[in-house]
Structures are given as structure tokens and as C-alpha cells.
Amino acid sequence: MRALRSLAGLGCALGLGVAQAAEIPLYPTGPSEDAAFLRFVNAGEQALQLTAKGSGASLRLEGEQRASDFLTVPAGKPVQGSLSLGEQRHALDVSVAPGEFASVVALAQAGQPLQVLTVREQPDDFNALKASLGFYSLDASCLDAGLQVAGRNVEIFKAVATGSLQRRSINPLNLTVQLRCGGAAAGEPLALGDLAAGQRYTLFLLPSAQGPRLFPALDNLAN
């Protein structure tokens, strides 16, 4: 709840027009051509703190709250501030194109400086009868990354290059996935639960001390 209250304050401070941080589906009618959308993802082990430039309003992501909802931001204009993860700091300066959904991912590995990656998508796959599942590959150690339905030889994604995205519409169902790297299973299966029709989901493939891992996020708008 604290993270959601902070999200609302941050939106106002950045001039994002966010009245309150209520979760709503990414569309039901599709994104406006004039709008742009930005969220933050904490892929580290410590709390991630975002501080807006000027106002000092902040957003904190930790524990179960690892990904913010998508904030509506001014298209083509810089969103500035600072990100901190533990003792590490990183300047934030990002702009989002009209109709684009951008995710700023903060990643810290032991002995390495804080990395901030921005991944971008222009959604065009809305289907009220299907669930939408996206897969971002952000771990170079996992070659030809892919996903299968756990326990079955059914491919969902295959040969996803590092730094790229694949997305597809699937039937609403209860889904558990298995990450594959170089054609072999990697890590334990991940239960995603019941996927809902008309909802969007994203899986981030990220490096960790234990090897490649999957981080799931629900694609909601803050409103």
C-alpha cells in the first residue's frame, strides 16, 4: 500500500496526470495515440527508490511489490530523477514515444555497478478473448532463450535474442512455464496462475547469482 501511495504522489510530481494508483487493465479499448506509458521494475535484491527531479516525490519498490503499474507520461518529453538500489545511484532521464509502453528495469548483481535498462513496446495485439504474454530476454548468459509449457513439449517462445521481445496471444488458462537456455531446461518451473482474457502479462528474463531467472509482471495502468 505504501508503494501505491508513493506512485500516486510521484505521478503528480512528474506532471503525469495520475489521480490515484488504482489498478486497471492495460486497455480495454486500446491505448490513445497521444499517450505514453512508463513503469519501473526492481530486479535487485534490495529496495529500489525512485526520486523525481525537482519535487523530491518518491516511489519505493521492494518485497512483493517489484513492478509499478504503468504511469501515463507526456509523450516525447524527458522524465527525470534518480534511482537508488542499496548504496548505488543512477540518474534517470528517459522519454517515451506516443503509444509506447516503456519499462525501466534496475538490475544489480554482486560486485557489479547498478544497471538501468529500458525496454520498449508498441502494443497492437489487443484481443478481449485472449490473454497476452510477453517475454523480454535481458540475460546474455541464456542463449536462444525460450519458454515451454512446464511438463509438456509445447513451445510458447523460442530463440529470443538478448535484448529483444516476443509477445503472443494465448487462450486464458492456468499456466506454468519452464525457461529454456540453449535448448535445455534452466531453473525451476514458474507458476503464473490463471491468465485472464483481455489482460496482458510480461515475463522478464534476468541474470542472478543463481543463474537466469524469470520475473513476472502484470501489465496494468495506474489511474
pTM: 0.81
| 218 has pLDDT over 60 | yes
Alpha carbon distance 99, 122 (integer Å):
6
pLDDT band of 28, cuts 50, 70, 90: very low
Residue 168 belongs to domain spanning: 2-222
Residues 153 and 172: their CA atoms lie apart, in Å, by: 19
Per the structure, the count of domains in the chain is 1
Q: Give the per-residue pLDDT at 31.
A: 52
Q: Is the pLDDT of residue 209 over 70?
A: yes
pLDDT confidence bin for 12, thresholds 50/70/90: very low
For residue 7, what pLDDT is reported?
39
The grid coordinates listed for 22 are 488504482
Mean pLDDT of 127-133: 93
Mean pLDDT of 101-118: 86
CB 123 within 8 A of CB 101: yes
Binned at pLDDT 50, 70 and 90, residue 16 comes out as: very low
How many of the other CB atoms lie within 10 Å of CB of 151? Answer: 9
Rounded distance, CA 172 to CA 191, Å? 14
The backbone torsions φ and ψ at residue 2, rounded to the nearest 5 degrees and listed phi first, read -60, -40
pLDDT score recorded for residue 126 = 78
Is the pLDDT confidence value at 5 over 90?
no
Strands 115-121 and 131-137: unpaired
Q: Which residue has the higher pLDDT, 8 or 114?
A: 114
pLDDT (mean) for 122-139: 90
d(CA 160, CA 49): 30
